[in-house]
A and B are shown apart, each in its own frame.
Chain A
Amino acid sequence: MSNTNQNDLRENQAIPTVDGEDYLLEVKNLVKYFPIKGGFFGRTVGQVKAVDGVSFHIKRGTTMGLVGESGCGKSTIGRTILRLHDKTSGQVLFNGQDIFSLSSSELRKLRPKLQIIFQDPYSSLSPRLPVGEIIGEAVREHNIVPAAEFDDYITDIMKQCGLQEFHKDRYPHEFSGGQRQRICIARALALKPEFILCDEPVSALDVSIQAQIINLLRELQKNFGLTYLFISHDLSVVEHISDTVGVMYLGNMVEFAETEKIFDHPLHPYTQALFSAIPVPDPNYKMDRIVLEGSIPSPANPPAGCKFHTRCSKCMEVCQYAAPHWKEVEPGHFCACHLYNDAQEQAEAEQAIPAKAPAADGKKA
């Protein structure tokens, strides 16, 4: 929080605190369904439940990692938070303000505070604008800096992001992938954001560049007091950069905790399976992988009960019928799994099991 601009902003806005904590972003039970249109008249015949009730919060100046398989709704959450998609229900609070309650002009004013870095540095830069314009056009649009300081400001931002001043007049096609990603970061940073959604920012880059970009992001966070939501497949990257980690499966968050806690002892069977797949750079290391069977079910028709039960190695009978509660299993370590039910919850969950002859084959479904 060394940056003066950020401090100015904090003085201007009343920062609501929850439980004495300073949360920049709070997501409460966010739901995003995409309608499936079908039939001759284009009626909605079904819904893709991309995000099906997700809650989390990010402290100011920290990074939250969001991991999960492809198609589990990570990117959809990110874009719904930025209101690039409309929500179906739920709440997104940014500095205590519900983003979805804003009018479009208010939203436009808020836009610079919430920025995004894309996965693909090739398609995310307009091919017909010079880099200086790409970085600077929104700065000018929102009058982030006075016109007189504009050039110096852009130069400064570019230097912060490891770009040279003369790159301003060049066009995106003249840059490598890593440089392009720096341009994307500079574009986001130039608007003096408080929150940056990093939507798999390094997965299109080679490993050496990945490290550069990750380190750049960390450095910028240190300098500007940024808050990140870092979406990635790459668990080692997430472990490296994140303060807290959320694990998603098929539109639901299954586990959320501080990075050390979740990597030390993952609670949810899915998290355990996922983390067991982290490669170890040691040829003699015998990996004890938990291999998940089958593929991720369709989010348009998710399984009843716990969505993970079709692939879970520890599946119980209740899992097939009752969805597990999202609860704090350990202090600061949230999880949604029937394994951690207390007696009362277990009893409630078992009520969901249809009254029929007790299944002979018991736990394994």
Chain B
Amino acid sequence: MKFNDKDKNDILAAKLNEQAEAQTAVDTTAASEEAYSLNDDRRVKVLSPGAMVAKRFFRNRIAVVGLVILAAMFLFSFLGGVISPYEEDQLFYTETIQKKEYAGAVRNNDFRFLASGDAKFDSAIQAQVVLAVTTGQDAVTYRDTTYHVNREGEDFYSVTTDGQATLVGIGYKDVVTSSVEGQKLPFDLVFATLKAYTNDEDAFELGGEQYTIAEGGVVEKGGEEVAFVSRYVINPISPDIFLSRDFQEQLVIALESGADKFTFTDENGESEYFIDYKPDVKNWVVRQETATRTYDRYAAPSAKHWLGTDRNGMDMLTRLMYGGRVSLVIGFIVELISLIIGVILGGLAGYFGKWVDFLIMRIVDIFYCIPSTPIIIILGAAMDTMGVDPQIRMLYLMLILGFLGWPGMARLVRGQILGLREQEFMVATEASGLRVSRRIFKHLVPNVIPQLIVSCTMGIGSTILIEATLSFLGLGVKFPFASWGNIINDVNNTFVLQNYWFIWIPAGICILLTVLAFNLVGDGLRDAFDPKMKR
């Protein structure tokens, strides 16, 4: 580095200028500087005890985690319910496909008989005919009349008398039914159809008309269906179902081909039909697949229901949000009730001592003797029988839990105040003639508040647990209101436990996290309020 003289001079001049400016700046701000000088009061930041507590609290990482969890839970519960598109007790439905029994089919193995015209062909003769067919005879005699049994085709016989002259009737196993509902087919047509069908012919002529037998046994005359022949007898499962001709044809085709399902379209649309063969009764059961509107129960998590649905078909996530609201509100109100009663009674006992203390502490002892769990269970059962409205029931629950919870708080406050009352600063307030109210509320209460805050924070956690337990047992918050406890109550068998994790795991996690967070925050506050903690 090398400067010539001019540069050096410039630098020097600039430096001097700077110093001069700085000096004038100092002079002009001298007055204000006095206010900002490094006096003791300016240098040390003054912290109130509250600010100190906050500072110590926020240094405790675990407690801050607890606080964050709590904040999240509050947002989830109180804001979530507002944001959620669903209502607390909104029911969801789903279309499910159910197989309902629709029709029955049986392969006909009994002879059926049809008399020709007015011929006498009663059941006694029919029995003789069956006997003849099975024993292979071609004639039977009944009441001095000889009946000839002529084989016309497969399982199709004609019965004649008078030396083959007169046709009495026919015996057959394949059933011919008219295509027109309720219409009786003429004997000739039945005879001709069966003759053709049993001999595997696909056409015949009758009375100058040409008939064809299509696949599946449809008898057509000039392209028009007139009858249907089949070995199968098909009946609807209940009288209100009408089996159409088409359906029966379809079914027979399916049966003959050995298929186990077929589709058929009727006026209600296309449905699938399932065929089950039951070997023990040798018949087929046809089941129709029908769409049914049902509650969307235990639906798995999806885009529509992020945590699925519960037993009643309500959205789990929404229930969780509303349940959190109920659980937290109950926790707070119960704790508030015990706080108010506890502080007033404990404060009175501690400050006035003597017989007031004795009386209140004996009441506390009595309350400690009350077995709270049986009482709550009995009251829950009583409210069940009285049919108390779920909303009012929730109110009662808070009152009961609050009334059972105050003795602990009263003892805490009394103990604290007894200790503080003997402190010299309380003697000093007496010596300076302060009013009693001021001594209590300005000197005693502020010194008890830390313990109260800690106790309440922890207390809310345990109250939530108690509420969850009661609701789980069905004694606390009742349907349709949700609470984390009664959400878990859905899990009342191992099947649900194993298969529907989304019912109980989220609610369990909510309870766990909230109670844990309350305990963490409570611990953090306790440490923060302890002035000996210098972390």
Residues of A whose CB lies within 8 Å of any CB of B are 79, 82, 84, 107-112, 114-116, 118, 120, 123-130, 137-138, 141-142, 164, 166, 169-171, 173-174, 184, 187, 191
Contact = CB atoms under 8 A, between A and B. Distances in A.
A207 B13 CA distance: 58
Interface centre among B39, B424, B434 (most CB of A within 10 A): B424
B280 interface: no
B438 A137 contact: yes
B434 A137 contact: yes
Contacts of A173: 49, 531
B49 to A, nearest CB: 6
B431 A82 contact: yes
Contact of B48 (A82, A107, A130, A141): A130
A115 B46 contact: no
B428 A166 contact: no
Contacts of A108: 433, 435
Please classify the interface of chain B as helix (H, G, I), strand (E, B), loop, or mixed, using the class held by over half of its residues. Answer: helix
A116 to B, nearest CB: 5
A128 B449 CA distance: 11
B478 interface: no
B425 A123 contact: yes
A191 B433 CA distance: 10
A127 B433 contact: no
B432 A128 contact: no
B40 interface: yes
A187 B424 contact: no
Contacts of B433: 107-112, 138, 141-142
Interface in B19-63: 39-41, 44, 46-49
B49 A128 contact: yes
A110 B443 CA distance: 21
A124 B423 CA distance: 7
B434 A141 contact: yes
A86 to B, nearest CB: 13
Nearest to A116: B431
Contacts of B425: 123-127
Contact of B432 (A120, A166, A174, A191): A191
6 contacts: A109-B433, A116-B428, A127-B49, A128-B446, A129-B446, A137-B442
Contacts of A115: 431-432
B431 A114 contact: yes
Nearest to B444: A126
A141 B41 contact: no
Interface string B406-450: 000000000000000001110111111111001000110011000
A123 B419 CA distance: 12
Contact of A171 (B44, B49, B423, B429): B49
Given A166-B39, A166-B40, A187 B438 contact: no
A142 B431 CA distance: 12
A191 B431 CA distance: 11
A114 B463 CA distance: 50
B40 A164 contact: yes
Contact of A138 (B46, B432, B447, B531): B432
A84 B432 CA distance: 11
A164 B42 CA distance: 13
Nearest to B39: A166
Contacts of A130: 48
